[in-house]
Amino acid sequence: LQHISMVANASGMVAQLWQVDQEVYFELCLNTMVKPTEVLEVQAVHVAHPFPAGLTIMGLDDSAIARRTLKVNLDRDVPTATTEMYGKDVAEVEEFKRAALQRANILILDENVDLPGNEQAGSAILQELIAAGYKGFACIRSGNSAASDVAQSLAAGAHWHVGKEVPIRDMLQEMREVYSDFRLREALKEPDEPEVSPSG
């Protein structure tokens, strides 16, 4: 690390090193200058943050097609994860709640879960789960993406709101970045101070 720091300083570069759980991230930034007479066509290459292995990702949607499409894309793009889909009936919604509290790392909830005789909002379900102790990542997926809808999702505890007009493959690509930021914030949180019992 000392050698890296020396080389970075000598070259006018900025080096950053941080750790999230068992993964270590290294970033090196270098300022460059291009002659104004030269025109270079540069194709930006985006390197996505990979999802860590062993995740359990759960989706809740009342549409069978949406559940199937989401699962197919998750299984293809996040092959190391276990994916579970719920929402075909009221019983599955309740099963989703129990399973989410037991083993979920990532939740993707439809905002409008409309079942025969039972309509529930994904944001309300998320609030219920957070109140019961859920601490993982949560995304609300909705057909409405007005500012008020996004604000409602975030107020309910979601870390991200995404519109259903966004293709699922693009959604998962963006979710990699959002989830990586979430993990970094969680890693940087200060541990809770231990409670001090009052003296008797």
3-state secondary structure string, the chain?
CHHHHHHHHHCCEEEEEEEECCEEEEEEEECCCCCCCCCCCCCCCCCCCCCCCCCEEEEECCCHHHHHHHHHHHHHHCCCCEEEEECCCHHHHHHHHHHHHHHCCEEEEECEEEECCEEEEHHHHHHHHHHCCCCCEEEEEECCCCHHHHHHHHHCCCCEEEECCCCHHHHHHHHHHHHHHHHHHHHHCCCCCCCCCCCC
Give the chain's domain count.
1
Supply the range of the domain harboring residue 116.
Answer: 56-187
Give the pTM: 0.71
Per-residue pLDDT of the chain (200 residues; tens, 9 = 90+): 554 555 555 555 656 655 555 665 556 666 666 555 555 555 544 445 688 999 999 999 999 999 999 999 999 999 999 999 999 999 999 999 999 999 999 999 999 999 888 889 999 999 999 999 999 999 999 988 889 999 999 999 999 999 999 999 999 999 999 999 999 998 888 665 554 444 44
CATH number at residue 177: 3.40.50.2300
Domain assignment present for 13 = no
Domain assignment present for 134 = yes
Domain assignment present for 197 = no
Domain assignment present for 8 = no
Domain assignment present for 24 = no
Domain assignment present for 112 = yes
Domain assignment present for 40 = no
Residues in the chain: 200
